[in-house]
Structure formats: structure tokens, C-alpha cells
A and B are shown apart, each in its own frame.
Chain A
Amino acid sequence: MSRIQLLIVDDEERFLKTTATLLEKRGIASQTASSGEKALQMIEQIPVDVVILDIKMPGMDGIETLKRIKSSHPLIEVILLTGHGSFDLAVTGMQLGAFDYLMKPSEISQLMEKVEQAYAKKQAMEQRKLENLASAPDASGAAPCIS
């Protein structure tokens, strides 16, 4: 469990701080980023399994960030956080490959639950990928980019 590499992205600094603290207390270490741009930088620098991503942010918004994460790191699972009424955006996010979405304000326990589910899914995906690679080594060149 403690191995989960979590990145929380939100423009609300205080939320980042408190949530990180709370999660840490519950055994999940997390990094924080206060914008989409920063988040993209960070996933290039540190290993990340799950991203909690606020949809509405100044600058690059959650949907755009999601697209970029998914294109560069398809295996990273993204949980969308929305304070917005529009399910459409959430649905769009899901179509773009987000794992799930959560309505603000949400309980820390809900958040943890989703994070764990996402991580489990990611692990399963990686496992399958490894198996695929093992069974078809020739295909390694065509495999999606994992750096």
C-alpha cells in the first residue's frame, strides 16, 4: 500500500497540503502539484502511479492535463475531482481514459478508496503488459512508450 506513488493536482494550495497530510497519516505518501503544467513536469521527474486531478484549474485545465498524461504515460491512472455540475465534463474525462471521478466535496475515505482501486487496476495492467511482453518479445519495439 505504501508503495503507491500518488500525485495530487489542484490549484487550491491548502487543499493540497491538508489532503497530503491526511493521506500520509493513512499510509499513502503523495506529491502535490498546484497546476497542470507542474503536474506534467513532475510525472517526467518522478514515478507516479495515480493522479488525483482537479478538472477546473487556471491555466491548463484538468481535461487537457489528463489528455497529456494519458498520451505520455498511458498506464498512469487518473481520478478526476470535480466541483462542477457538469457530468458531461466528467464523462468526457472518462472517455479520455480517466479511472473515475469524484464530486467535491468528498470524504478523505472516498478518495483513498478510489486511489487504491486505481492503483490495483494499474498493477493489474502492468502485470498483463509484462506477461504480454514475455509471451511476445518480438513486439517490444512496437510497445507503447514506457521510459
Chain B
Amino acid sequence: MTAETRKKRESSKYSRIRRIILSRILVAPFIILLLVCGTLVYYFSATLHTRVNSEMIRIVDDHRNMIDQFLVERTEDLTFIANTTRYEVICRQQRLEEIFAMLQKSSPAFQDLGVFDHSGNHISYQGPYDLEGKNYQDAPWFKAVKEKSVYISDVFLGYRETPHFVIAVQKHENGVFWYLRATIDTLFFNNLVENIRLGKTGEAYLVNKSGIFQTKQRSGGRLMAVDPDFADAGGTDGRIITYSAKNHEGNKYRYAVGRLHQTYWQLVVRQDAGDAAAPLIHAVLVALGLIFLGGAVVVVIAFFLSSNVAHRLSLADAEKREMTNQLIMAGKLAEVGEMSSGIAHEINNPLQVMKAEVTMIGDLFSDLPPRSEQDRENFDLIKDSVNQIGIQIDRCRKITQGLLKFARKSDPVIRKISPADLLKDTLGMISHQAMLDEVSIKTRIAADLPEIESDPSQLQQVFLNLINNAVYAVRETRQPEVRIMADMAEDKVRIQVSDNGCGIPDTELEKIFLPFFTTKPVGSGTGLGLSTCFGIVENLGGKIEVNSTVGKGSTFTVFLPRAKARAKAQAGAGAAG
């Protein structure tokens, strides 16, 4: 009895409920998940930042000390030689060779060794280049060492035309100065710094105070080239500063910079910010993955949960609605039943009087002999008329009796019966008429239909009524067909009577079980058939449903319990007392 529009409204209502539940279930875990992951990522990033910084500071500090140490040692090597060797001795090639060999034993970083007089003439030289006799009076290192007595140069090309740096010491002997100079193997020195690694992109290099590379930069800066990203670390107090900056190409780097103690060079350790943040990105990715994974799980669970709840709700609602419908229908029918039994009674009394009167008139007329031909004709007419009154009284009686039958709470006579046999019997009663009407009746009765406990004569009345109605409904159909189907639906026996007839419009569908509702022409039906069926089926603990589409046909479905449930009995029949 549910209209299509109502179904649509219902389904949209439940999908709305489902959405509400779904969103509520989803929002809370998502917020929590986001908070947890957000907090974790925040703290992790803070820790990571500190860790990266301290790691870089540590590297700078360690390596700066190492380089300083190296330079101090090399300088001390030279100072020691200058202090322990006299000028005349060291000027001898042989002696220089011995000393150089000793130096190289001390550190393989020494590439060559040279002795210079007070005016910068290269007196004696031990090394791979031919530099003897050259004058260095104007070389920057010579000027510097004259001033400071110990000097470590920046990397320069010099006469040999290859990048190198030198350590020079001044010696005062017998009123004259002489100088000892050693070149440090660029490759060796370079390795000291260049091999420092940090992450994927982390690198270390030395620049002098004008930003010239003193060692190669792994990411591309050549020796003696100008560092495009140079920033002065400031003071000589040994502080290591860290900062983030974009390089000339616009990539962001983390920097840690510390100045050496021995020279003006600064050790730069830098790492691509992305690389430095790689663990963070990794953590964020993991967090995001967790959010998505957890989210997916939550979504799936929430989806099933909400669907389930909405489904249960809709089921409960449908059940409630059906119960309400049945109650309303039962109430309606009870009211109508009470009323109709009252009416029937009130009408039966005058009918009884009328009947007596008609009999009386009949009696009187049979006692009255016609006195003429005219009388006889009139008498016949009057008798016919009185007869007709008798017939109409009988018709009224049938109606009132039908009403009383509908209203009556007669106790069903419960027996074990086979619904299949009952259906076949009923069909037997109707097949002749159906054949005459050229209606094809098709039956499909499940073989495993169990026996049920019910009232056979009342059920037969129900089936007869339904099948008769179906046959009536197809009277104007081109290929009239009535289908009767019986099977089990869950624990109930389901009997369906379908036709391909005219169908019942929605507005009438609600009334068809009410007494006196009929679509048949006046006189063809009392309109009590379906209401009686309804009363009987309800009384037997079953249920009757109808589905209909105008122009396509109707299906009446009767559900019968296998044994009558006492509690449900007599919901539909009217009170007759």
C-alpha cells in the first residue's frame, strides 16, 4: 500500500541519516588523527632542526680543529727546521733533500721545500718544479712573512701556474733574515675537507675572507673560484654560526660556518634544506600515509556502520509503519464492522416485517378469485410486483448477511491442511468459468509446500475471492492471464494471485479492503469480498498485501503462518457484541 513517492522520500531520508552518521563517525577520528600526526610532525621537525644544526656545528667544530691542528703541526715542522738548521747548511742541496725527506715523513702533505734569502731570492729548492733562482720579493706571501715571521698563504697560482698554498717561516740568523717555505699538497689538503659528508647533499669547503674557494666545493665550485654564496662568518672568536639561505640558484641551504684559528679561512658546511629536512619529509609522508590508511579504514568501518544503522533504522521504521498501517486498517475495519453489524441488525428487523407483509399479500391474493379478465391481468401484475419485492428483500438479506459475515468474529476451525490441495480445489471450482471467459490460469505451486494449521473453508473463501477478482480484472485484457503462485517466504507460506488486468490506482488501493468498496457495477458485487478476505487472513494470523500498477495488473499476496499465532488473532475482525 506504499506509494512510489513515499518510497523515494523514505530512501532519501535514510541516506540523509546515513550521511549524518557517516560524517559524525568520520570527523572525530580524523580530527584526532590530524592532531596526533600534526603534533608528532611538529615536535619531530623541531627536534630534527636542532639535531641538524647541532650535527652541522659539530662537523664544523671537529673539522675546523682538525684543519687548525694540521696547519699548526705543519707550521711547527717548518719552525723546528728553521730553528735547528743553520742557513749555510740548509742552502746545500743535499742537506735540503734530507730535511725534505724528513718533513715528508712527518706529513705527506708537504709538496716541496724552498729556502729564500732576505731579499726573496730562491736560494735552494727541493720539489718537482724548477723554481730555483726566481725572485719572490714582490710575492704577497713573501711580503706577509717578512711582516709576521710565520705565514700561511691563501691558495694562489704563483710561478708554477697551479693552485697551491704555502707555509712560510722567517729566521733571524747573525743579523740577517732568511726564509723557509713549504708548499702543501693541494690534493691532500683538499681531501681533508672535501671528504666531509653529510646526508646526500651535505658538503664542506674552505673559503678565504674574500670568498675565494680554498678547497673544491663538491657541488661544483672550483678551486680559487669566487664563492657566489659567500657570507662572512664575522669575528675570530671561534663562534660557529648557523643559518638558512638561498644560494645563487635559489635553492635553500642550511649553513654552518666557523672561522679557522690559524688563517682567515672559514670552514663552510652546508646541506640542501630539502636534504636536511629529508627525515622530516619522510616523517610527514609516513604521517600522511597513516592518516590516509587510518582514514580509509575508518571510512570503510564508518560506511558499513552507518549503512548498517540506517538499514536497521529503515527496517524498524518500515516495520513500525506496517504495524501502524495494519493497526489503522484493523481499527478502521473494526469500526466499520461494528457499524455494519448494527446496520445489518437494524435493517433485518424491517426486512422481517416486509417479508411477513409480502407473504401476507401473497396469501390474500391467492384467496381472492379474480372477477374479470381485467382483474386477472391486474392480479398477475400485482403478484409479479409483490414477487419482485420478495426478490429485493432477499437481495437486501444477502447484503446484510454479507455484512454480518464480515463483522462476525467467528472462531476459525483449525485443521492441518495442505495449501496446495486447497488451491487446486479452489481452482477446480473456478476453472470452468475461467475457461468460458477464455482466461488462462497458470499455476506454479512449490513442491515442498508444507502443511499448515488453518481453517480450510475460510481460506477457500479467501482464495475464491482473490481468484474471482483476478478473473474479473482481466475481462478487458487482450490476452487475459491469471497467475497463481505458492511458495515459502521465510517461515510463511506465500500465495500470490496476479493478473494482467486493469490494475488499481493508488487512491483506490487504500480502500479496497474496506467493506462496500467495489468497482464493479451496481448489483454485481457487494464490495464485501476483499474486506472479508482481510478479516479472515488477519484472524488466521496471516497478512494480505496488494501491489498494483494501473494498466499492468495487480498482485495480491497472502502470507499464512504454518501454525496460527494466538496473539495475533482477531486483530482485523470487527466487534459484533
Contact = CB atoms under 8 A, between A and B. Distances in A.
Interface of A: 12, 14-15, 18-19, 21-22, 25, 56, 81, 83-88, 103-108
A36 to B, nearest CB: 16
B355 A107 contact: yes
B360 A83 contact: no
Contacts of A14: 353, 357
Contacts of B410: 87
13 contacts: A12-B352, A22-B363, A56-B345, A81-B352, A84-B576, A87-B410, A88-B576, A104-B348, A104-B349, A104-B351, A105-B354, A107-B355, A108-B356
Interface in B323-353: 341, 344-349, 351-353
**Interface range for B:** 20 to 34
Given A21-B360, A83-B344, A107-B359, A12 B349 contact: yes
A12 B60 CA distance: 128
B357 A18 contact: yes
Contact of B348 (A21, A83, A87): A83
B404 interface: yes
Given A84-B345, A85-B341, A18 B353 contact: yes
A18 B356 contact: yes
B240 interface: no
B363 A105 contact: no
Contacts of B357: 14, 18
Contacts of B466: none
A88 B359 contact: no
Contacts, number: 74
A87 B408 contact: yes
Interface string B339-383: 001001111110111111101100100000000000000000000
Q: In this complex, which of B345, B401, B409 has the most chain A Cβ atoms within 10 angstroms of its Cβ?
A: B345
A62 B284 CA distance: 95
Interface string B387-407: 000000100010001011101
B577 A19 contact: no
B211 to A, nearest CB: 118
B356 A85 contact: no
Nearest to B403: A85
Contacts of A108: 355-356, 359
A106 B355 contact: yes
A56 to B, nearest CB: 7
B348 A86 contact: no
Interface in B398-424: 401, 403-405, 407-410
Nearest to A19: B356
Given A22-B363, A105-B351, A83 B356 contact: no
Contact of A15 (B356, B401, B408, B409): B356
Contacts of A12: 349, 352-353
B428 to A, nearest CB: 29
Contacts of A83: 344-349, 351-352
A84 B341 contact: yes
Judged by DSSP, the binding face of B is helix
Contacts of A88: 409, 576-577
Q: Which 9 A-B pairs have the closest CB atoms?
A: A85-B404, A83-B348, A105-B351, A105-B352, A18-B356, A104-B352, A105-B355, A104-B348, A85-B341
B408 A105 contact: no
A134 to B, nearest CB: 43
B360 A105 contact: no
A12 B353 CA distance: 8
Contacts of B409: 88
A106 B355 CA distance: 8
Contacts of B351: 83, 104-105
Interface string B41-72: 00000000000000000000000000000000
B352 A85 contact: no
B577 A86 contact: yes
Given A22-B359, A22-B363, A85-B404, 17 more contacts: A12-B352, A12-B353, A14-B353, A14-B357, A15-B349, A15-B356, A18-B360, A22-B356, A81-B352, A83-B349, A85-B341, A85-B345, A85-B403, A87-B408, A103-B401, A105-B355, A105-B397
Given A12-B353, A84-B341, A85-B404, A105 B359 contact: no
A88 B411 CA distance: 10
Nearest to A55: B345
Contacts of A81: 352
A107 B352 CA distance: 8
B364 to A, nearest CB: 9
Nearest to B407: A85
Contacts of A104: 348-349, 351-352
A51 to B, nearest CB: 17
A14 B352 CA distance: 10
B360 A22 contact: yes
A127 to B, nearest CB: 33
A25 B345 contact: no
B359 A106 contact: no
Contacts of B354: 105
A98 B465 CA distance: 35
The winner among A21, A22, A104, A105 for most chain B CB atoms within 10 A is A105
Contacts of B349: 12, 15, 83, 104
B193 to A, nearest CB: 116
Contacts of A105: 348, 351-352, 354-355, 393, 397
